[in-house]
């Protein structure tokens, strides 16, 4: 049986901006999820994005102090997103979907 969330991912949140307006990132957060290579994504609200990747997880991609994830990478990374070759401005969309019973939430990030 195929695992629903087989991939290791790392996410970062923007905690502040430096004097030049560049993001200062949180410590990396490691989560399990699913990476999918895609061409186009349509969110439930009818928005369509041209994209090359989608990251899905049942672990929160939001932070109570910093808001939604600002950088994401496939794999386990222990430093900033630049180590993983990730640019924070590549995230094009963020979606939070509750299931019908309201017992679980799936977070979806596209870039």
What are the residue ranges spanned by the domains of the chain?
A: 7-110
Q: Name which residue leads in pLDDT, 36 or 89.
A: 36
Q: Convert the pLDDT of each residue in 80-95 to its tens digit.
A: 888 888 876 567 777 7
The model's pTM is: 0.81
pLDDT of residue 26: 94
Question: Which residue(s) pair with 9 in the sheet?
Answer: 31, 74
pLDDT of residue 75: 92
Instruction: Report the b/e string of 26-36 with b at 16+ CB within 10 A.
Output: bebbebebbbe
pLDDT of residue 48: 73
With beta carbons less than 8 A apart as the criterion, state whether 44 and 106 touch: no
pLDDT of residue 6: 93
| 93-98 sheet: strands from edge to edge | 71-74, 7-12, 29-37, 53-57, 105-110, 93-98
pLDDT of residue 22: 87
Indicate the average pLDDT of the chain: 82
């Amino acid at each position: 049986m195929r695992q629903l969330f087989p991939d290791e991912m790392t996410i970062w949140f923007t905690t502040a901006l430096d004097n030049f307006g560049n993001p200062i990132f949180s410590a990396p957060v490691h989560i399990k999820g699913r990476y999918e290579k895609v061409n186009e994504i349509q969110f439930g609200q009818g928005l369509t994005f041209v994209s090359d990747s989608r990251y899905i997880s049942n672990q929160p991609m939001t932070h109570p102090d910093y808001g939604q994830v600002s950088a994401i990478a496939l794999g386990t990374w222990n430093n900033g997103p630049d180590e993983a070759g990730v640019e924070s401005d590549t995230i094009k969309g963020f979606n939070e979907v509750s299931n019908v019973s309201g017992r679980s939430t799936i977070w979806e990030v596209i870039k």
